[in-house]
Amino acid sequence: MGERQLRDILERFETRVWTERDPAALDELLAADAVVDGLDTEAQESARAFDAVRRLLLEQFDDIRVVIDRSIEEGEWIAATAAILARHRKSGKDVATRTQMMVRIHQGRVVEGHNIIDFMTAFEQIGLLPERSLDFCLMGRRPRF
């Protein structure tokens, strides 16, 4: 693929899946047998499994935007860092966190995705975890609830 083609596909995927909340995007941009990990504790080994996790996140958050700020492409692979911006539905609080992803795109569809998402910061921002929970964990102490 040419320069930035993978980034364009990835940005279209992120926008349609998260911002537009378009379930048809999964059929169009995600292979049925895709393997995606990093959204929860298990690898999602199909578009259907990915959709189940996607629905849980969409129940919690509105106005989701994934803003890719850096990317590197090689063959069918794109590695990217991005900001995730959203609003928590229940509290109305804005959330800003980070992600890193490595995605393989074949014939215009995501076939493999590996994600590292800073969920801890997001959950601190909406009050599900105490502020600075990571600091407590790094010191070998339990966060104070």
- Of these ranges, 20-34, 73-87, 127-141, the one predicted with the greatest mean pLDDT is 73-87
Residues near 98 by beta carbon (within 8 Å), at least 6 away in sequence: 81, 82, 83, 84, 117, 118, 121
User: Is the pLDDT at 4 greater than 80, yes or no?
Assistant: no
Q: Is the pTM of this model over 0.85?
A: yes
Q: Determine the residue type at 120.
A: M
Torsion sign (Cα): 54, 60, 63, 67: negative
20 — pLDDT class (breaks 50, 70, 90): very high
